[in-house]
Amino acid sequence: MAVNVSEATFDRDVVELSKQTPVVVDFWAEWCGPCRQLGPALEAAEASRGGRVLLAKIDVDSNQGLSQRYGIQGIPAVKAFKGGEIVNEFVGAVPPAQVEAFFDSLVPSRVDELLAKGDELSLREAHELDPRRADVAVALGRARLARGAEDEALEAVAGHPGDFDAQGIAARVRLSKAGVGKEGLEALGRGDRATAIDSLIAELPNHPGNGDGDSTRDLLRQAIVGVINEDPADPNAREYRSKLATALG
């Protein structure tokens, strides 16, 4: 929860405290519309980090000395203190994603920590904490596919229809239910990516598209792209993409 800081308490509650825990300082004013817009995003970012980053608010009208000390010329102005020094800052009501990235520069969020663990239980918790994160939904979907839980995998990515990787998971489930690309999907289940991709690409000529974006051909394309994207460091990724482009004509 944000703490209101004054000129009298700033050095103690921000500068000194930041030597132990990063402190994000929000220079704001009651009359400032963009400040009220930004505030909830800052508070949400602090709350999601469970005390590993603290948020302090400074009313510039009541603390003009601090405004002069830190050269505040426009608000909202946000400055991150770590080790007693300013380590990052921005001005204006930036989008929530940018606020999260700003806090991430100080300490990873709980969601990021859970995502890094990678096990399904951690991914499920991360998804519950932030269902807006497509990368978390995709990781959870892949984990569920790995144990054959197709309906659960589809549920995990349902809120991200515009994400290519989420589309790939949904396409794999729909192809499986339709009995299409069985050999390729079975190869995926064995962890044989190369065979899976080649087999799914070979299936494309059997399913001409109808241009509606929802044909079996489109599902095959989406599934193949999703599988390729699972391992961006794969040295064969470029070759796979070239084969896919050729097959699509």
**pTM to 2 decimals?**
0.67
- Which residues carry out catalysis? 32, 35
Q: Which tens digits make up the pLDDT trace of 144-179? A: 999 999 999 999 999 999 999 999 999 999 999 999
Cβ atoms of 142 and 153 within 8 Å: the answer is yes
Put the strands of the sheet holding 54-59 in their side by side order.
3-4, 54-59, 23-28, 77-82, 85-91
Percent of the chain whose pLDDT exceeds 70: 98
Q: pLDDT tens across 177-224, in order?
A: 999 999 999 999 899 999 999 999 999 998 887 655 679 999 999 999
User: What pLDDT score was predicted for residue 45?
Assistant: 93
Average pLDDT of the residues of the chain: 93
Where do the domains of the chain lie, and which CATH numbers do they carry?
3-104 (3.40.30.10), 110-248 (1.25.40)
Q: Specify the residue for token string 């980090």.
A: 49
Whole-number Å distance between alpha carbons of 12 and 26:
16
Q: What is the pLDDT of residues 83-95, one digit of tens each?
A: 999 999 999 999 9
pLDDT bin (cut points 50, 70, 90) of residue 2 is confident
Please state, for a pLDDT cut of 90, what percent of the chain lies above it. 86
CA distance 240 to 197: 7
Q: pLDDT at residue 112 above 80?
A: yes
Residue of 68, 62, 53 lying closest to 14 (CA atoms): 53
